[in-house]
């Protein structure tokens, strides 16, 4: 998704298949929900996502929050 952060138009973009293939059904559902709360729509077929530049601040906040949680889990 990083390559589309500077896109100023909406569009459908592919995801690398390996990003979702390693997730179990529950993890995939949770990932879709979290990304969906940011305003992006992830489609399993493809896989692809619908990019909306207005979602960037929420997506960055989600990324920062998840990164912090990952760091905290490694520290304990």
Instruction: Give 7-52 as a DSSP string.
Output: --S-EEEE--HHHHHTS-HHHHHHHHHHHHHTT-EEETTTTEEEE-
pLDDT digits (tens, 9 = 90+) for 14-57: 888 788 888 889 988 888 898 888 888 888 777 888 888 888 89
- Write down the pLDDT at residue 1: 58
Measured from the Cβ of residue 40, the count of other Cβ atoms closer than 10 Å reads: 19
Inform me whether the pLDDT recorded for 4 exceeds 80.
Answer: no
2 pLDDT more than 80: no
The pLDDT assigned to 44 comes to 78
What are the boundaries of each domain within the chain? 2-75
Task: Report how far apart, in Å, the C-alpha atoms of 64 and of each of 1, 55, 57, 61 are.
Answer: 15, 14, 11, 5
């Amino acid at each position: 998704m990083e390559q589309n952060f500077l896109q100023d138009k909406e569009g459908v973009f592919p995801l690398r298949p390996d990003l979702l293939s390693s997730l179990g059904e529950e993890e995939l559902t949770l990932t879709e929900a979290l990304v969906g709360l940011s305003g992006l729509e992830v489609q399993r077929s493809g896989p692809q996502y619908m990019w909306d530049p207005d979602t960037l601040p929420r997506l960055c906040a989600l990324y920062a929050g998840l990164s912090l949680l990952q760091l905290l889990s490694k520290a304990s």
